[in-house]
Amino acid sequence: MKRIILLLLFISLIFASFVDIAISSESVKLITEDQKQIYATYYPPPSDNAPGVIFIPDARCDGILFGGRFPSNLNNAGFAVLY
């Protein structure tokens, strides 16, 4: 019986590692003092007082470089993310 319980626990842990948590992101538009418009994607913090990460691309790239799973992985780890 103990082996069955351990096996089921092990299988459930493996299954849980493959499941993606649905994270809500939103598109935001920031306007600078000189009226330049900056478009970004924002992942709100999962809890109050969460630390934040801001990705700032240099002149040779844009925000697409930061896309993919990295921002959502950071958000899953407890960070608010803006890129």
What are the extents of the domains in the chain? 23-82
Structure tokens at 36: 């330049």
Place of tokens 């994270």: 23
Query: pLDDT > 90: what percent of the chain?
Result: 17
Structure tokens at 68: 């993919």
Cα 76 to its chain centre, rounded Å, is 6
Its pTM stands at: 0.61
| Greatest C-alpha distance within the chain | 69
Lowest mean pLDDT segment, chosen from 7-11, 32-36, 50-54, 74-78: 7-11
Rounded CA separation 54/24 (Å): 17
Rounded CA separation 59/9 (Å): 49
Tens digits of residue pLDDT in 25-49? 889 998 989 999 988 889 998 888 8
